[in-house]
Amino acid sequence: MRTKKILLVLTLIACLASPVFAAGASETKAAPAADGPVVISYYTWDDSSHKALIDTFNATHKDIQVKAQILPAADYETKLTTLLSGRADIDAFMEKRQVDMFGQYDNGYLEPLDSYIAATGKPNPAVEAFKSSSVINGDTVVIPWRGGAYYTYYNKKVFEKAGVPTPDYYVKRGEWTWKKFEEVAKAITAADPSLVGSTIYIWGGQGFFQAGQAGDSIVTPDGKIDNIDNVVKQLEMRKRLEDVGAMWSLVDMKVTKLHYSKQFYDGNVGMLLIGEWFPGQMVTGRNDGLLAYDFEDWGITRLPCDQSEYVTVGLPTGNCITSYSKKKQAAFEFINWMSGPEGAAIAASYGVLPAAPGEAAKAEIAKNLPKGNSLDYFLEEKGNNTANFSPYGTRVETEFAKLQEDFLLGNINIEQFKTNFTKLLNDIIKTTY
């Protein structure tokens, strides 16, 4: 009798649950219409350049139409994972946090794109430019659309006020090292304590600039701890700069949610080390009247570098195709177009650095940068390393961020940081299963 009751309850639960799980599956069965264009479902976040790309593609392609599913940028990664695990109707999607590709690849959500690229008869320039961050286990899983590169953005007015030469002066002389960066940041604040020499933002990955340039992986994709000396070196530099007010306090930025763009717009920061998307934010700042100075009063140059040959860091942003899509060829044509010359030109008109900028894109980029040598540095041929691109990436960054705060707040010394960081990396490797 008791068993019967239990069975009855379980049957009831199963009956009630089946429609919940069936809902996701039924969506994937939607077949393309017999006539008319193939409609693909494409997921991305609320970015004006993405919308312009989709609109242009739809206007210029009669046989394929992109149905955009725009999610808010905040928590995009979480929503995407939930949608993928429910096998929602997604043919292609923009990857926001690149290291998430490892988990998606392991779960079989990503379609290898090598055969599609081969069918075009030529290598894809965007993939070739960012090969190390586009390939997992020999499979090309993403076509980069936006390039990944960090630069030094500087405010000419702040340098003028402090009476210090702008960073491009040192770049030209081959002296733009991390030591010089520290020296310059301190000089700005020393000249006028109301000025902050520099800003490196709060994201954990921002602590790996020097490590990335040196080619250190932090944790290698096969689970081995790499050299952490450059992480330590950068952290010590940050502390020295924060202590004299020559770098914006990381903890203060975090708890007050003070965005790096706001700091730079306000005109009190000398240098900001941030990625290739920032010119787009400067254009937005100008258009929205947020800049406390003239648009021509800022510039772009190289990231400080201690290597014999200049190398920057950064991961590209790209598009993937789901392995369960019924319209893979159409999805590929769209994402391939997006990273091609036409897509690049549209992206560039929004201040974005395309992964493979053609001539038209370069002309567009020039319109969105201040005059002078910024364009040359923005588009120069350069090495690009990707520290922390591994299945452990997100945990390493977040856990590092906590330890970094412990050190910056003076709760631990640098030796304790080294010991704790090594232990932490070991724990992450051991508990990633």
> Which residues of this chain interact with other proteins, rule CB under 8 A?
12-13, 16-17, 20, 75, 77-78, 81-82, 84-85, 100, 103-104, 106-109, 202-204, 249, 251-252, 254-257, 394-395, 398-399, 401-403, 405-406, 409, 411, 427, 431, 433
Grouping H, G, I as helix, E, B as strand and the rest as coil, residue 374 is helix
Name the minimum Å distance from CB 79 to other proteins.
10
Residues constituting the chain: 433
Q: φ and ψ at 285, to 5 degrees?
A: -60, -40
> Beta strand pairing status for 92-94 and 38-45?
parallel
Give residues with Cβ within 8 angstroms of 28, minimum separation 6: 87, 88, 89, 324, 326
Nearest to other proteins of 58, 323 (CB atom): 323
- Asked if residues 257 and 132 have their Cβ atoms less than 8 Å apart, the reply is no
Q: Which is nearer to other proteins, 17 or 118 (CB)?
A: 17
Of the pair 102, 298, the CB lying nearest other proteins is at 102
DSSP state, residue 310:
-
Determine the Cα–Cα distance for residues 235 and 228; give it in Å rounded to an integer.
11
Structure tokens that stand for 418 in this block: 């080294």
Minimum CB distance to other proteins smaller for 398 or for 422: 398
Q: Which residues pair with 131 in a beta bridge?
A: none
Residue closer to other proteins, measured from CB, 295 or 324: 324
**What minimum distance in Å lies between the beta carbon of 317 and other proteins?**
18
DSSP 37: P
Q: What share of the chain is helix, strand, coil (3-state, %, to 5)?
A: 50, 15, 35
Rg (CA), the chain: 24
Nearer Cβ to other proteins, position 12 or 414? 12
CB of 346 to other proteins, least distance (A): 30
For 425, the token pair is: 């990396």
- Cβ distance to other proteins smaller for residue 155 or 394: 394
Q: Closest separation between CB of residue 403 and other proteins, Å? A: 8
By C-beta, is 253 or 273 nearer to other proteins?
253
Report which secondary-structure segment, H or E, holds 83.
Answer: helix 76-85
CA distance 39 to 65: 5
184 vs 170: CA distance, rounded Å:
10
C-beta of 206: minimal distance to other proteins in Å? 11
Query: C-beta of 96: minimal distance to other proteins in Å?
Result: 12
The distance of closest approach from Cβ of residue 416 to other proteins in the complex, given in angstroms and rounded to an integer, is: 12
Joined tokens for residue 254: 């975090």
Local structure of residue 112 (DSSP, 8 states): P
> What counts of helices (H) and strands (E) characterise the chain?
20, 13
Say what the alpha-carbon torsion angle 201, 205, 208, 213 is, to the nearest 10 degrees: -100
Q: What's the min distance (Å) between Cβ of 402 and other proteins? A: 4
Our CB check for other proteins shows the closer of 413 and 433 to be 433
Q: Which residues contact 97 (CB under 8 A, 6 or more apart)?
A: 77, 394
DSSP state of 193: T
Taking the least distance from each CB to other proteins, the nearer of 247 and 305 is 247
Q: How far is the CB of 323 from other proteins (least distance, A)?
A: 11
